[in-house]
Structure 1
Amino acid sequence: MDKIHIGNMIKNYIDSKNLKRSGIAHLLHTPNTAIYAYEKRDSLKTSTVMRICHALKYNFFMDIANSLPQEYEYNRSLSVAKDVLIEQQNAEITRLNNENNLLKELITGKK
């Protein structure tokens, strides 16, 4: 099993976005040194990660979930609304593709 180092995930995100740790510390109401300390830790309390997620407006929990095998079980009721929306959008795409193809046939006179 691969170990997830949440501190590295946070550090990589901050670096990739060229964010200032002092700004993040200000949002979290913590000293600048706390951000550096978080980056070095391989695990953090979920409440701390949640605060960082809100401050950065980034979902580190989703990155963690996506690193797990797809066959792992999870509470599907939490993702039902998203899945319904995706299904509706796929149906709409199919309908629009059919209409588009029909219009192309009408324009070109092909049947």
Structure 2
Amino acid sequence: MITIKTGEILTAYCNRKGVLKSRLSQKTGIEYQSLLKHLRSNTLRVDLLLKISEGLEHNFFMDIAAQLPKSYSSDISLNESLINENETLKEKIKLLETEKNILLQVTGVKG
């Protein structure tokens, strides 16, 4: 049986992104002590994981799914997943282009 330690995934994300657990508690409405207990746990109820995903605007479900064997089936087609990823990347490119143009204007360098 596969073991996916959701508490470790959440804690690693918080540490990597500098998310304070007290702030996460406020954003999600999960009491601080309960949140700490959940982060130490190997399992987490789906409703809590969804609440934390919404609070952090991060898809922990996808992080978990990525740890499953590629041979497992899914109702989401690869094409749909790629379309979603493509849209996200397009948005990031627009943002980067805007930032580049601002930097070029500020530094006086012609692009």
> What TM-score does the superposition give when structure 1 sets the normalisation length?
0.67
**For residue 33 of structure 1, what is the aligned residue in structure 2?**
33
Residues 86 and 53 (structure 1 numbering): CA distance in 2 closer, same or farther, change over 3 Å? closer
Aligned-pair RMSD on alpha carbons?
A: 2.2
Alignment of 1:44 onto 2:44: yes
Structure 2 unaligned regions, length at least 5: 87-111
The offset of 1:22, in angstroms, is 0.9
What code does the residue aligned with 1:75 have?
D
Structure 1 unaligned regions, length at least 5: 88-111
Alignment of 1:76 onto 2:69: no
> What TM-score does the superposition give when structure 2 sets the normalisation length?
0.67
1:58 and 1:11 map into 2 onto residues whose CA distance is: 13
1:56 and 1:71 map into 2 onto residues whose CA distance is: 29
In the TM superposition, structure 1's runs of 4+ consecutive aligned residues that sit over 2 Å from their partners are: 79-87
**For residue 21 of structure 1, what is the aligned residue in structure 2?**
21
- Structure whose alpha-carbon radius of gyration is higher: 1
**For residue 104 of structure 1, what is the aligned residue in structure 2?**
none
